């Protein structure tokens, strides 16, 4: 127990924990908005069911990915690949942060089942779709965003396994319990999302650098064996 406390409350541990918490907050809210956007075009009874399916799927996928991602990052070369993947996550998140106000309002109305813009409808301007179409969009988004979340947390936690566990538990809790609230918080205070984006970009750059350092001896050995 003393070792765990010392690990968390060391300067490096606290810095990693702060990064992990911010990543969890931003990506849980981002995931919730994507789920809301996908469900916005459904009738009320189907919309509630689709959002519930999306949150449950995201929670289960985070648990499943957590079991393999941390092990995979120990393989030489995959840390570098994970950093490159996180760069793509940053680009995708940047595009999502530039979602139109109307689309985002529809997502928040779908998540909270409330007429936020007082137009007499809930997500009334969203394009209509079938339940199967919405469910498929949500599952695809959940797979991608759950992997993004676990990868970012694993990269930020680095050599702090206790912080990694805390981050993954927090991620699952936020997605299962407070995703809608966090999505509204990020909608109201957009700067939080940009801070989170900057942290994920930093984690991606650090993973690429550490991955390149790990790969350097391998590349040199291969070059030597080939007489290059």
Confidence tier at 126 by pLDDT (50, 70, 90): low
Question: Any residues with CB less than 8 A from the CB of 178 and at least 6 apart, and which?
Answer: 28
Mean pLDDT for 108-116 is: 65
Domain boundaries in the chain?
Answer: 12-222
**Model pLDDT for residues 163-210, shown as the tens digit of each residue:** 878 888 888 788 767 777 777 777 677 788 788 888 888 888 888 888
Within its chain, how far is the Cα of 152 from the centroid? Answer: 7
Asked if the model's pLDDT at residue 117 lies above 70, the reply is no
How many angstroms separate the CA atoms of 216 and 96, rounded? Answer: 35
Residue 126, classed as helix, strand or coil, is: coil
In percent, the amount of the chain with pLDDT more than 70 equals 75
Residue 172 tokens, joined: 């699952």
Taking 70 as the threshold, does the pLDDT of residue 129 lie above it? yes
pTM of the model as a whole:
0.73
Q: Does 224 have pLDDT greater than 70? A: no
What pLDDT was estimated at residue 135?
83
pLDDT range class, residue 115, cuts 50, 70, 90 = low
Question: pLDDT tens for residues 43-72?
Answer: 877 888 888 888 888 888 888 887 777 676
What pLDDT, on the 0 to 100 scale, is given for residue 202? 87
pLDDT tens digits, one per residue of 28-37: 877 787 787 7
Q: pLDDT at position 228, please?
A: 55
């Amino acid at each position: 127990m003393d070792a765990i406390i010392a690990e968390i409350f060391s300067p490096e541990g606290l810095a990693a924990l702060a990064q992990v918490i911010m990543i969890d907050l931003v990506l849980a809210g981002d995931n919730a908005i994507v789920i809301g956007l996908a469900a916005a075009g459904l009738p009320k009874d189907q919309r509630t069911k689709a959002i519930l399916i999306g949150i449950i799927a995201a929670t289960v996928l985070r648990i499943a990915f957590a079991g393999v991602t941390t092990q995979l990052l120990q393989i030489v070369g995959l840390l570098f690949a994970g950093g490159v993947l996180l760069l793509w996550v940053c680009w995708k998140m940047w595009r999502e942060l530039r979602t139109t106000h109307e689309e985002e309002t529809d997502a928040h109305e779908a998540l909270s089942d409330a007429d936020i813009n007082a137009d007499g409808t809930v997500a009334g301007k969203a394009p209509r779709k079938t339940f199967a179409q919405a469910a498929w969009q949500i599952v695809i988004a959940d797979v991608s965003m759950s992997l993004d979340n676990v990868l970012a947390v694993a990269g930020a936690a680095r050599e702090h396994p206790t912080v990694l566990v805390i981050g993954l538990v927090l991620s699952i809790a936020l997605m299962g319990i407070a995703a809608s609230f966090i999505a509204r918080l990020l909608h109201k205070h957009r700067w939080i999302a940009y801070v989170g984006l900057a942290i994920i970009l930093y984690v991606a750059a650090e993973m690429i650098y550490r991955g390149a350092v790990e790969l350097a001896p391998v590349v040199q050995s291969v070059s030597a064996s080939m007489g290059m």
